[in-house]
Amino acid sequence: MAGKRNPWGRPSGKSGDGEDDGDTGDTPSGETPRGPRNPWLPGNGVGNRGERPRRSASIEDIFKNRGPEGPRRTGGPGGPNFRLPQRPGGKSWFPVAMGAIVLLWLAVTSVHFVQPREQGIVMWLGGKYSRTMQPGTNFTFPWPIQTVDVTNVSEIRQNQIGEGGENLILTGDQNLVDLSYLVRWNIKDLVQFRFELAEPEETLNEVAEAAMRAAVAETQLDTILSGAGRQQVEQRVRSRMQEILDAYDAGIAVQGVEIARTEAPQQVIEAFNDVLAARQDAERNLNDARRYEQQLLAQAQGGAAEFDNIYEEYRLAPEVTRRRLYYETMESVLADTDKTIVEADGVTPYLPLPEVQRRARRGQANGDAAAVPAPPAGGQ
């Protein structure tokens, strides 16, 4: 049919210049047979004569100049151009910078300065024990081949147990006491402390509590409340804790245990305070009686010592000692009497000197009273 357009090629009734060539569908002689045309490629129509046919972009063309960071930029007259500075000889500074970084890394991770109170644990690849570093300058393989963990082993650490709440412990006389205490400790063996126990400080607290309960269960309540009793309990707790920790290979040295608070439970605190006050009164009275006893005993011992000295002197000179004792005894007896006895020839054995002295004093007083003029009668 003349003028009908073939969708896959040229119109069937017209030539390339718009004239009907009378083609009935057969291919003219001397021409390349035409088949169905690719609809995505431009045809060789009037508007495309003498032009290069266009082609859509393929997947390779789209991602040719792209990377993970985006489209690639290449240097050129109108684009950016980044270059590292070069050395005077024209070589790059990159190898020098890399060498400096490696040397710095080796120096930082291979040289270790351990202080006098510290020790360090060296481990292979962060897990296997290698050796223990002592104070001073030490060298190891660089990280991560060997890692170092430095710890202060001389520091006295303190664990407070029973503070901030009730910590009731049963005493030996079936009483309850609310007790808190302080444990002072330090690291004795760093290797055992790090590798033998999973949680060393938690283990220390549990051992301290077990030792304290065992020591208090062997002690009376009055002993725990007194100062001397506390010291005994503290010493027993410390010794028992050290034995248990050494059996565990904990690497811990217990420096001391100090009881901070000993009180009765809150439910019976008033009655407990009354009993405690009565005991303090009894203790004070007992101390007064003991002090008086000591005074009497000291006086008796002094008198006995004096008598022993007199007896020794009497044995050396009996007559002289006898006379001295007689004179001292008579002096002490007659010191408060009004009689004066004088033993001498031609003198009256008894002289009432005290009576004479009293009469003389009485007469002198009367004379002084007479010498004072009496006031005139009638107010004149």
Q: How many CA atoms are closer than 13 Å to the CA of 42, on its beta-carbon side?
A: 13
- Reading the block at residue 115, the tokens are 């202080």
CB contact set of 355 (below 8 Å; sequence gap of 6+)? 338
pLDDT on residue 36: 58
Confidence of residue 57 (pLDDT cuts 50, 70, 90): low
In single-letter form, the type of residue at position 335 comes to A
In single-letter form, the type of residue at position 51 comes to E
Confidence of residue 71 (pLDDT cuts 50, 70, 90): low
Helix%, strand%, coil% for the chain, nearest 5: 40, 20, 40
pLDDT on residue 157: 93
Lowest mean pLDDT among 44-48, 111-115, 122-126, 300-304: 44-48
Q: Distance (Å, rounded) from C-alpha 201 to C-alpha 207?
A: 10
Contact call for residues 237 and 159 (beta carbons, < 8 A): no
pTM of the entire structure? 0.48
Among the listed residues 229, 214, 206, 193, the one whose alpha carbon sits nearest the alpha carbon of residue 159: 206
Q: How many CA atoms are closer than 13 Å to the CA of 367, on its beta-carbon side?
A: 6
CB contact set of 245 (below 8 Å; sequence gap of 6+)? 203, 204, 207, 252, 254
Q: With 90 as the cut, is the pLDDT of residue 183 above it?
A: yes
Q: What's the pLDDT tens digit per position in 72-113?
A: 554 454 455 556 566 677 677 777 778 788 778 777 777 778
Q: Distance (Å, rounded) from C-alpha 268 to C-alpha 264?
A: 7
pLDDT on residue 229: 79
Confidence of residue 205 (pLDDT cuts 50, 70, 90): very high
Distances (CA, A) of 69 to 66, 73, 83: 8, 11, 19
CB contact set of 253 (below 8 Å; sequence gap of 6+)? 185, 186, 187, 188, 242
Q: With 70 as the cut, is the pLDDT of residue 126 above it?
A: no
Contact call for residues 63 and 57 (beta carbons, < 8 A): no
251-286 CB burial, b ≥16 within 10 A, e <16: bbbbeebebeebebeeeeeeebeeeeeeeeeeeeee
Straight-line distance from the first to the last Cα atom of the chain, in angstroms, rounded to the nearest whole number = 193
Lowest mean pLDDT among 40-54, 81-95, 206-220: 40-54
Work out the number of other CB atoms within 10 angstroms of the CB of residue 242: 19
Alpha-carbon torsion (327, 329, 330, 336), positive or negative: positive
Task: Give residue limits of the domains in the chain.
Answer: 104-152, 157-263, 268-316
pLDDT on residue 185: 95
Q: What is the dihedral of CA 138, 143, 145, 147, to 10 degrees?
A: 60
Contact call for residues 143 and 109 (beta carbons, < 8 A): yes
Identify the three-state secondary structure at position 203.
Answer: helix
Confidence of residue 1 (pLDDT cuts 50, 70, 90): very low
CATH number for the segment(s) 157-263: 3.30.479.30
Work out the number of other CB atoms within 10 angstroms of the CB of residue 177: 20
In single-letter form, the type of residue at position 105 comes to W
Confidence of residue 164 (pLDDT cuts 50, 70, 90): confident
| Burial label, 77 (beta-carbon count in 10 A; 0-12, 13-18, 19+) | exposed
